[in-house]
């Protein structure tokens, strides 16, 4: 279960901002499945969290925290019946992704991460430099390179 793997998230202001009064209940009932690919994701069939155990053990702690915040946004979207993987949109234009990225980036800024570091965090192997520009524009959060 989520609360066996991730400690203290029920006290995170960002997580409380997602689930409100239901935070503890949602986290207590959230299943975590360890997978051997990628970083993290949400299974669209029942809304559980998938986590790459190797990433969890070797990744940057702050980035893992931000990833969890991002994925918990998807858990909330799934609970609201939203389509998480709407293929009518490119990844960086998909409203569920843009919202999750925006929320995680605002949390990163609250933590005092520099814009440069936030951009480095957002730069993943499946987002081209052009797509990253589009994502930042879609998020409508000021992020200046350099
Ligand atoms: Zn996402």
| Distance between Cα 131 and ligand 1 center (Å) | 14
As residues whose CB is below 5 A from the ion ligand 1, the structure lists 97, 100
Ranges of the chain with pLDDT below 50: 146
Output DSSP code: residue 57: H
User: What pLDDT is attached to residue 146?
Assistant: 46
Residue 11 C-alpha to ligand 1 middle, in angstroms?
A: 22
What is this structure's pTM?
0.95
What pLDDT shows up at residue 90?
Answer: 95
Cβ burial of 127 (10 Å; 0-12, 13-18, 19+) is middle
């Amino acid at each position: 279960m989520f609360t066996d793997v991730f400690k203290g998230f029920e006290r995170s202001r960002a997580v409380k901002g997602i689930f409100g009064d239901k935070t503890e209940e949602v986290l207590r009932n959230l299943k975590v499945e360890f997978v051997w690919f990628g970083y993290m994701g949400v299974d669209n069939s029942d809304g559980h969290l998938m986590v790459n155990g190797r990433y969890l053990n070797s990744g940057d702690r702050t980035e893992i925290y931000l990833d969890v915040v991002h994925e918990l946004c998807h858990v909330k979207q799934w609970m609201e019946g939203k389509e998480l993987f709407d293929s009518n949109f490119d990844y960086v234009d998909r409203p569920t992704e843009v919202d999750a990225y925006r929320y995680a980036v605002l949390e990163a800024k609250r933590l005092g991460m520099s814009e440069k570091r936030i951009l480095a965090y957002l730069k993943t192997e499946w987002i081209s430099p052009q797509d990253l520009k589009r994502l930042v524009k879609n998020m409508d959060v000021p992020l200046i390179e350099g």
